[in-house]
Structure 1
Amino acid sequence: MENLMQIHQSLTDTPKEFLRRGLMDEIDWDGRLICIKGFRGVGKTSFLLDIVKEKFAEDKGCLYVNLNNFYFTKRKIYSFADEFYKKGGKVLILDQIHKYPEWDTELRECYDNFPDLQIIFSSSPVLRVLEGHDNLKGIARVYHLEGLSFREYLNFKGGFDFKSYTLTEIIENHQSIAAEITQQVKPLAFFNDYLETGYYPYFINSKSFYREALLKHVNLALEIDVTYLNQIELKYLPKLRKLLQIICSQVPFTPNVSKLSHDVEISRATVMNYLRYLKNSRLINLLYSNGDEDQMKKPDLVYANNTNILYAVDPENINNRNLRTTFFYNQLSYKYKVKSSDKGDFKLESKYHFTVGGKYTEPVDSGSYAAADMIEEGKGNVVPLWLFGFLY
């Protein structure tokens, strides 16, 4: 344990550029069992270490450990937590819980036997923390660390402190909100860079190798998160990679399951399963007309999860229409229900119909809205597209 404490101290003492994530303010810190899920490279480890620094900097009873450490091949989480608790431990932070067998059983044992111990753990987005683990239902609180919103990116790059807004606030007050922001910064000067290399925090260390870093994590997500956690044999990995490439070369598109089945050489049922796996791993988004994401139902449209993935996986499929709709869906879907619309591109919260386009885009009727690119401020039912990056 002493060695792990030394690693904790070294990690928390190492100076680094601080990128404060909005999720920090959304977590109920009274919970005794908190899960942080997120895509590879999205910044889960940095977020956990930032939690230590912001919430428990002066608390010697807090310890961060990475379960990749070979120490945990010979030591059980429960046994380790027991020793830590008896020595006065209060907060145990476990990184990469999905690497550890029978993690759910041991977390439950810790919860039942150490009433004053708080456990915060991270996992792959694919891991079913509550589904299929009844022993954690009602006690574990699950949060998703998404990629950077445009607001978070802008705050970091420009040294600003812009706050987030609700969807209702943006729809009703977008003119005054945009005017306040544009007095301090020209958001469109940062927007294109964000779409290409701003969603993941790799740019902090090196923008030059951003796509290479993202492709590495995309492949790791396919090789480990999607295949291992869904118990797919590794020999099917090339088919998963081919399906993702086909999707990114065509999105947004209405999937022809029969054609995808033929092109990838898998069954129709497997295509549907793979689409769900790719969505759960935060590589693609699926859009439905009624919000029903039944695995047997074909989605109306398939999108890349975010614009950065488009640039990395198939840069030949980059166009304004694709970038705008992908950005809009990505930034909205984190907190709000997004469906396909019969009089626009998207229907939000079952009542707001939005058409997404360029600077001259208009709502289809008086009861709908437009998200227009290349404008700093909107008017009436026309809202600047970039402003939807301020929702979290």
Structure 2
Amino acid sequence: MDYLHRTHTYLLRHARTGLQRRLMDEIDWNHRIIGIKGSRGVGKTTFLLDYARRHFAPTSPECLYINLNQFSFTTHTLVDFASEFVRGGGRTLLLDQVFKYPNWQEEFKQCYYLYPTLQIVFTASAVMNLEEEDSELATIASVYHLAGFSLREFIHLDNGIVLPTFTLEEIMEHTPEVVREITRSVHPDLWMDRYLEYGYYPFHLEPRLYSENLLKTLNMTLEVDLLFIKQLEQRLLHKLRKLIYLLAQQPPLAMLNVSQLASEIETSRTTVMNYIRYLSEARVLRPVSRVDETDTKKPAMIYLGNPNLHMVLSETEPDRSELLRTFVFNQLSKGHEFRLASRSSVTLFEIDGKYPVQIEAELGGRYRSDRYYILEQGDLCREKTIPVWLFGFLY
């Protein structure tokens, strides 16, 4: 116990102090079991430590951060440890990497019923599904999703300016007013190139080469989050890697061809669809279905999970419009739905079943009043034209 408290104190005193993530204000901290899900590399551990730093003194006995890869938990149960922690005045346990502790779901429930003054906040992989794995725990735990940095958060980190967030409705229906409010302080388009290259993951703040760090994170996602947590066979790793690579090389606005992919990675169509589902849960891929397709398990298109992945997976310079679509879909994924609008067009998408949008670097064809245009450059003063960077202010 003393060793864990010393580690906790050291981490709080030496960890880099960053911006407060938007999710910190969205969580109802009155719940006794809180899960923080997210894809690998988005900062879940930092989030836990930031919460402890903001609410407890570094040496306070009331809060303790523990990485459950500690060897002591091979002979001591979490339930017994929680009992000792509570007796010593403990209130909040921050538990990282719970998948490394066997039977954690059952012991969480025991802690919940045995120690009514104890709060547990834990991190979980994006691929973990409590509803499927433990329905009882799912009813007593509140689970939230931590995304990577938004463009707004990236700008805040870069220059220290605190910028507001806006709802999708404000962005779509009050564009001029929102743009004026933001550009009084900054011109976000100046940050777009850097964000698209390395802004989504917080480890761009580290001295190591970003692309190598990102490749390591992607491989860890496959080897740990998918093979270990999902209990897939090791021999499938090569096929998963190949599938991701092939999808990253697709031309702009390419429709998903499952049969061709199955042939190229030498497996069945059903297996390809299962792989896509796993990679979607891990936020490596982002499927886009049609609005008139009742079977959403069979997407019409596949995008990478975030624009940074293009920089380490694409053989050639990514098409600018396709990169911007990846950016918009990524920023919308926190609470919004997007689909391909119709079978007659591969350029028209629909957001939340309400807003038909065309996302381009610039308007190449004729202007049509039946849709919104999300553009990087060109005539952004016309009605229903929205600068693409504005979607980086949703969270």
TM-score, with length taken from structure 2:
0.94
* Structure 1 match to 2:387: 384
Q: Is the 8 A contact 2:61 2:88 kept in 1?
A: no
Q: Which amino acid aligns with 2:372?
A: Y
* Structure 1 match to 2:334: 334
Change (3 A) 1:132 1:294: farther
Q: Map residues 148-187 of structure 1 onto 2, 5 A cutoff.
A: 148-187=149-188
CA distance in 2, matches of 1:318, 1:253: 13
Q: Map residues 15-94 of structure 1 onto 2, 5 A cutoff.
A: 15-57=15-57, 60-94=61-95
Q: Map residues 295-374 of structure 1 onto 2, 5 A cutoff.
A: 297-316=297-316, 318-342=318-342, 344-360=347-363, 365-374=368-377
What is the CA-CA distance between 1:317 and the residue it aligns to? 5.3
Deviations, residues 56-92 of structure 1 (Å, cap 9, x unaligned): 3475301110011212222211111111112211100
Most deviating of 370-379 and 83-92: 370-379
Most deviating of 151-160 and 359-368: 359-368
CA distance in 2, matches of 1:328, 1:291: 21
Change (3 A) 1:282 1:43: same
Change (3 A) 1:317 1:74: farther
What is the CA-CA distance between 1:188 and the residue it aligns to? 1.4
Q: Is the 8 A contact 1:93 1:120 kept in 2?
A: yes
Alpha-carbon RMSD across the aligned residues, in angstroms, is: 2.0
Helix, strand or coil for the counterpart of 1:131? helix
CA distance in 2, matches of 1:27, 1:129: 18
Q: Which amino acid aligns with 1:381?
A: K
Q: Is the 8 A contact 1:250 1:317 kept in 2?
A: no
Helix, strand or coil for the counterpart of 1:216? helix
List gaps (5 residues or longer) in structure 1: none
TM-score, with length taken from structure 1:
0.94
* Structure 2 match to 1:244: 244
Change (3 A) 1:378 1:385: farther
Q: Is the 8 A contact 2:363 2:378 kept in 1?
A: no
Q: Is the 8 A contact 1:125 1:280 kept in 2?
A: yes
Most deviating of 126-135 and 237-246: 126-135
* Structure 1 match to 2:144: 143
CA distance in 1, matches of 2:103, 2:94: 17
Deviations, residues 17-46 of structure 1 (Å, cap 9, x unaligned): 413211111111111110011122111111
CA distance in 2, matches of 1:363, 1:202: 42
What is the CA-CA distance between 1:108 and the residue it aligns to? 0.7
Deviations, residues 236-280 of structure 1 (Å, cap 9, x unaligned): 111111111111111653221111111001111110100000001
What is the CA-CA distance between 1:222 and the residue it aligns to? 0.5
* Structure 2 match to 1:125: 126
CA distance in 2, matches of 1:85, 1:362: 66
Helix, strand or coil for the counterpart of 1:225? helix
Percentage of matched positions with identical amino acids = 39
* Structure 1 match to 2:289: 288
CA distance in 2, matches of 1:264, 1:307: 24
What is the CA-CA distance between 1:15 and the residue it aligns to? 4.9
Q: Which amino acid aligns with 1:241?
A: R
* Structure 2 match to 1:96: 97
* Structure 2 match to 1:11: 11
Deviations, residues 315-335 of structure 1 (Å, cap 9, x unaligned): 425111211110111111111
What is the CA-CA distance between 1:379 and the residue it aligns to? 4.0
Helix, strand or coil for the counterpart of 1:341? strand
Q: Which amino acid aligns with 2:359?
A: V
Change (3 A) 1:321 1:157: same
| Residue 229 (1) aligns with residue 229 (2) | yes
Say how many residue pairs are matched. 390
CA distance in 2, matches of 1:364, 1:28: 45
Change (3 A) 1:358 1:4: same
Deviations, residues 280-310 of structure 1 (Å, cap 9, x unaligned): 1110000112497957x42011000011011
Helix, strand or coil for the counterpart of 2:93? strand
